[in-house]
Each structure stands twice: as C-alpha cells, then as structure tokens.
Amino acid sequence: MYLCKVVIKWNKSNEFSLEMDKRKLEIKYTVFKSSEDLSDEDKTLINRAKKISKLAYSPYSEFGVGSAVLLDNGEIFTANNQENAAYPQGLCAERIALFYAMAQYPNQKIKSIAICVNPQNIDFTSFIFPCGGCRQVMSEYEDRGKEKMRILLGNISDEVLLIDGIENLLPFPFSWGNMQ
C-alpha cells in the first residue's frame, strides 16, 4: 500500500506543478505450515478457537467463526459468531470474546487472540481475517493495555498466520487521540 502527499503549486502564469511524497506501508506476519509448529500456548489458543467455531450459530452464512482470547493472567475466553435473520444484528466471534474477557477482567491486558473458521458446505481454505469493526475494537484494547496484541489466524488446512500487533491489520486506526 502506498501513501501519497500531493502539493499543487500555481505560478504567476496560472500554471501548476505537482510535488508528491510517496510512502510505502509494510505489513509483517509469519506463516506456520502447521499448528504443531506453534508454542504450546499458541497451539492451545488455536485449538480452543477451532473447537468453539464448530458451535457457532451461523445458519445464514454457514460460516462459523471461533475466537479465543488469552489475557496476561492466563485466563482464556472463547466465543463464536452469532447470526440473526435481521442483519446486521448478529455479532462476530472476536468482539464477543474480547468484550466478555474485558467485562470479567477489565484491568488485564490482552496477550493474544486466535481466530479460526469452520465453513459448512462452503469450499473455503483461506484464512479468515477480522472485519473492520473487530479490528477497531482490537486497536482500542491494544491502546488501553499499551502492549501489542498477538493475532493468530487458523484455517482448515491447519496453517496459522501470526500477526504481531493490530497495526499490521489496521494501519490507520481511529483512536482517542483523534478526538482530542
């Protein structure tokens, strides 16, 4: 992704010139070919997300998503997506798990979140990425805890993508600083 700043300058002859400041944005992540290559802590988190994804209420999309959140005190909270016929009244697995974890332990920091997909009757082998709303919530909790959150994405082929910090999924978040 490139960022570009454009400056237009007009001279006395009513001619203009453009000056640009192009910047490149780099996104960092690690791909593991198997969850077996993960640490025991990460493997547990991925397995908990996979397990809960099978219990998702997703009769409309047939796209179950599970999430497991690890707090810095060692507590793990799991959740899955919950759909509703009156879209968009359903809620994503990530936000349910994050909100529940923070409701129970508001002073703890979020260490990691694992997100896995369980597609039913759908040929889907890719990774599932959090939606924009979930990314924004992750950003808020990361800011609040003042530490990067590790994001683990698992697919049905048992590959895992590890992303260190929400800025690698949401490079330009809206935060408290934007409101001051």
For residues 130-151, give the mean pLDDT. Answer: 96
Q: How many domains is the chain partitioned into structurally?
A: 1
Residue 75 in any domain: the answer is yes
**Domain with 81 in it: what CATH number?**
3.40.140.10
Q: Which residues of 8-23 are buried (b: 16+ CB within 10 A; e: fewer)?
A: eeeeeeeeeeeeeeee
The per-residue pLDDT for range 32-81, each reduced to its tens digit, is 999 999 999 999 999 999 999 999 999 999 999 999 999 999 999 999 99
pLDDT at 12: 74
Residue 98 in any domain: the answer is yes
Range of the domain at 33: 27-179
pLDDT at 7: 61
Residue 73 in any domain: the answer is yes
Residue 172 in any domain: the answer is yes
Nearest to 153 by CA among 17, 32, 40: 32
Residue 13 in any domain: the answer is no
In angstroms, the CA 48 to CA 127 distance is 16
For residues 18-26, give the mean pLDDT. Answer: 79
Residue 14 in any domain: the answer is no
Q: Decide if 41 is catalytic.
A: no
In angstroms, the CA 136 to CA 82 distance is 19
Residue 138 in any domain: the answer is yes
Rounded to the nearest 10 degrees, what angle do helices 93-104 and 132-145 cross at?
30
Catalytic residue among 19, 94, 142, 159: 94
Q: Which tokens sit at 87?
A: 């879209």
Q: Which tokens sit at 171?
A: 């490079």
DSSP 126: S
Residue 12 in any domain: the answer is no
Percentage, residues of the chain above pLDDT 70? 92
